């Protein structure tokens, strides 16, 4: 696999983990940018970053950068994705790739126009175990999928000033953890759900604290999801079908981000993403459908 020059935007905890994966795959990281020089210098020294920029635009204008990894909070994703694509860079962006479907559709169209790869950091798309399950389903060896159940709960400390609880920063369980659950459900459904039923409990700041979501498509496949960011629950997904149970093992959980890097570089080499962006499209639109049912809007929904 050809080594590519990656540039990282943001140096928070997830950037540290991705940097380790990039070093494992490529042996080095070409560039990183963050507004605080001291944090950036410390990150660069720890993670073998060759070039640093305190201005993201300057890094994006570096002709040697092939692909940009965006590790900022999701309210900044749309802006940086657009800038990176306009600068001719491939983009790998953390979830949620954008805060609404309108933003997603715009950057996806721009990536197609520029003939660039745009990919979202949903780990399950890249884990060997999920690919193996999907291959078995497609080959008809696991029967037809009828029902998918997903539980995802985290326990965020009570803090009305934390970004996870801020409506202005697109907080709430849906964009924080709901994208994972929705991506899991959509990945194993034959087609996009066209019907959504949901109930929600709002946090005092107006964001969603917990919810139950039921989705169904025209093939009568259903997904039932439970989300919470104030109640710890197992992060578990399962599907029910009409055949015998099969136990599978593939890949290593600790290498999850390595698989992401390897897939992204393969996408760039082959010139297409194996349909991954189409799945992200469906997830973005499903998340919007859920919020519409709740009557919950973010300040960003008008742009």
Q: Measure the CA–CA gap between 33 and 102, rounded to whole angstroms.
A: 27
Which distant-in-sequence residues (6+ apart) come within 8 Å of 16 by Cβ?
43, 46, 47
95 in active site: yes
- SS3 per residue for the chain: CCCCCEEEECCCHHHHHHHHHHHHHHCCEEEEECCCHHHHHHHHHHHCEEEEECCHHHHHCCCCCCEEEECCCHHHHHHHHHHHHHCCCEEEECCCCCCCHHHHHHHHHHHHHHCCCEEECCHHHCCHHHHHHHHHHHCCCCCCEEEEEEEEEEECCCCCCCHHHCCCCCCCHHHHHHHHHHHHHHHHCCCCCCEEEEEEEECCCCCEEEEEEEEECCCCCEEEEEEECEEEEEEEEEEEECCCCCCCCCCCHHHHHHHHHHHHHHHHHHCCCCCHHHHHHHHHHHHHHHHHHHCCCCHHHHC
What values do phi and psi take at 153, rounded to 5? Answer: -135, 135
CA atoms within 13 A on the CB side of 97: 31
The active-site residue, picked from 47, 89, 95, 131, is 95
237 DSSP β-pair partners: 150
Residues 185/148, Cβ–Cβ less than 8 Å: yes
Which residues are known catalytic residues?
A: 95
């Amino acid at each position: 696999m050809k080594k590519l020059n990656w540039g990282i935007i943001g140096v928070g905890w997830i950037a540290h983990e991705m940097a380790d994966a990039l070093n494992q795959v490529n042996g080095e990281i070409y560039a990183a940018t963050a507004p605080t020089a001291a944090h950036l210098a410390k990150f660069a020294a720890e993670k073998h970053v060759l070039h640093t920029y305190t201005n993201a635009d300057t890094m994006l204008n570096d002709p040697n950068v092939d692909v940009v990894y965006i590790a900022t909070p999701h309210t900044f994703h749309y802006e940086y994705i657009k800038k990176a694509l306009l600068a001719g860079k491939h983009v790998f962006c953390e979830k949620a790739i954008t805060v609404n479907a309108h933003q997603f559709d715009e950057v996806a169209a721009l990536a197609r126009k520029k003939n660039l790869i745009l990919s979202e950091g949903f780990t399950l798309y890249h884990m060997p175990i999920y690919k193996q399950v999907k291959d078995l389903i497609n080959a008809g060896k696991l029967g037809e999928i009828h029902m998918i159940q997903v539980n995802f709960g985290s326990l965020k400390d009570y803090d009305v000033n934390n970004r996870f609880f801020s409506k202005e920063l697109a907080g709430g369980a849906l964009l924080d953890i709901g994208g994972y659950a929705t991506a899991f459900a959509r990945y194993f459904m034959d087609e996009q759900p066209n019907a959504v039923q949901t109930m929600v409990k709002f946090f005092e700041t107006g964001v969603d604290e917990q919810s139950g979501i039921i989705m169904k498509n025209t093939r009568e496949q259903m997904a039932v999801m439970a989300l919470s960011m104030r109640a710890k629950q197992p992060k578990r997904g399962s599907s029910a079908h009409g055949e015998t149970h099969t136990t599978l093992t593939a890949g290593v959980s600790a290498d999850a981000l390595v698989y992401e890097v390897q897939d992204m570089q393969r996408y760039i080499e082959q010139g297409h993403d194996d349909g991954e962006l189409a799945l992200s499209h469906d997830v973005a639109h499903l998340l919007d459908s859920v919020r519409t049912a709740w009557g919950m809007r973010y300040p960003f929904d008008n742009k």
